[in-house]
Amino acid sequence: METTEKETDEVDLGVIPYENLDTTADIQAKAQYLGCSIEDTGEEMNFVPEMSATIQNLNLYISGEGNEDYFGDFLEGASEISLQTGGKPINILDGNGEIIINAEDGEITYSI
């Protein structure tokens, strides 16, 4: 019986602006749902908030005034995506480019 290794090309995404996301791909569909573009550096994958509502809601949450369910979507999204990146950590950034969530292999390792 012949086995093949899963190709990792699908997770070398480069930089994908929000408006160019392919929602048929799981990672890109999740990025669109969260209102983010993607920066894949080869070592890690960053989700960068692009939608003004996303940036505003993340900043509200960081300040302690936000909706916990909304932030929970980001925690779940980071965890799910980190299982699909071939071992690369996933970072979700705030509106200023700072990491507010980090996940690796399905586990949240850092969250504000």
Domain count, the chain: 1
The strand pair at 90-93 and 45-49 is best described as: parallel
Tell me what pLDDT residue 10 has. Answer: 56
Tell me what pLDDT residue 66 has. Answer: 83
Lookup: tokens for 110: 């850092």
pLDDT at 59 over 60: yes
Lookup: tokens for 60: 């509200």
Per-residue pLDDT, averaged over 62-89, amounts to 92
Tell me what pLDDT residue 95 has. Answer: 86
Is residue 1 a part of any domain in this protein?
Answer: no
pLDDT at 1 over 70: no
Tell me what pLDDT residue 43 has. Answer: 95
Q: List pLDDT tens digits, range 12-58.
A: 889 999 999 999 999 999 999 999 999 999 999 999 999 999 999 88
Q: Three-state SS across the chain?
A: CCCCCCCCHHHCCCEECHHHCCCCCHHHHHHHHHCEEEEECCCCEEEEECCHHHHHHHHHHHCCCCCHHHHHHHHHHHHHHHCCCCCCCEEEECCCCCEEEEEECCEEEEEC
Lookup: tokens for 99: 């990491």
Q: Residue 100 is part of which domain span?
A: 10-111
Question: What is this structure's pTM?
Answer: 0.85
